[in-house]
Copies of this chain bind each other. A is one copy, B any other.
Amino acid sequence: MPKIDPKPSTTRESLIKTGLMLFGNAGFDATSTRQIAQAAGTNISAISYHFGGKEGLRTACAEYVSDLVMTTVISNLPPVKELSAADASAVLENILSGLTNLLLLEPQAKDLTQFMLREVTQSTELLDVIYPKFFEPAHKSICELWAQATGQDADSSEVILTLFSVVGQVVYFRIGQEIVRRRMGWENIGPNEVQAIQTIIRTNLHATLDVARKGLMQ
């Protein structure tokens, strides 16, 4: 647990934020420490001093995003056990809509999501930081919601994999957004386009939920 520093190094934080921006946009390998230092308003040696090197800044960025998402999103979820099946479905639907908005629209979150997506597909070592801090608790939460909504077991292979497929749909619209944009003939992906995507995701969610509920009744 990092203790709260009443006067945190503003240089350190500035480096993490610009690192997140540049790593997210161009990728880790395509971003030089000189670029980062300049954009952060400091010099190259500050990276070595604060993080031990470029790789250390990468880790610090991953920790920063993981902590941010956990404290602002995951820990604010309602207590699952107290929800009815219908309420659990509704919460799940809201989470998916929120995630779609976050991944496709939020300009503030653009750097963060792009950085995370890159790291997940590229660096396997960094997952040791991101997975336990963020992905595992987040995925467990939505599995519990699904279990509450369907009556299935939250820890079963079937539920865990199903939730990956449900979330995967949303993530793909971010990964392949340029392909989607071209195929749909959209000029850009704005609120109206996101709404069309959300409708499809919602329809799929309810179709899969219904099948899961019926499967248990047999």
Q: Which of A12-20, A40-48, A74-82, A172-180 contacts B (4 or more CB under 8 A)?
A: A172-180
Which residues of A from 161 to 213 have beta carbons under 8 Å from B? Answer: 161-162, 164-165, 167-169, 171-173, 175-176, 178-180, 182-184, 196-197, 200-201, 203-204, 206-208, 210-211
Q: How large is the interface on A (under 10, 10 to 19, 20 to 34, 35 or more residues)?
A: 35 or more
CB pair B131 A182 closer than 8 Å = yes
| B residues near A196, Cβ cutoff 8 Å | 157, 161
| B residues near A120, Cβ cutoff 8 Å | 175-176, 178-179
**How distant is A7 from chain B, measured CB to nearest CB, in Å?**
37
**How distant is A133 from chain B, measured CB to nearest CB, in Å?**
13
CB pair B122 A27 closer than 8 Å = yes
Please name the residue on chain B nearest to A161 by beta carbon. Answer: B200
A165 touches which one: B29, B139, B158, B200 (CB < 8 A)?
B200
Alpha-carbon gap, A211 to B161, bound state (A): 21
**How distant is A146 from chain B, measured CB to nearest CB, in Å?**
13
Q: Does A10 contact B (CB under 8 A)?
A: no
14 additional A-B pairs beyond A127-B178, A164-B173, beta carbons within 8 Å, are A27-B122, A120-B175, A124-B178, A157-B184, A157-B196, A161-B196, A161-B197, A161-B200, A162-B200, A164-B176, A164-B179, A165-B169, A167-B172, A206-B211
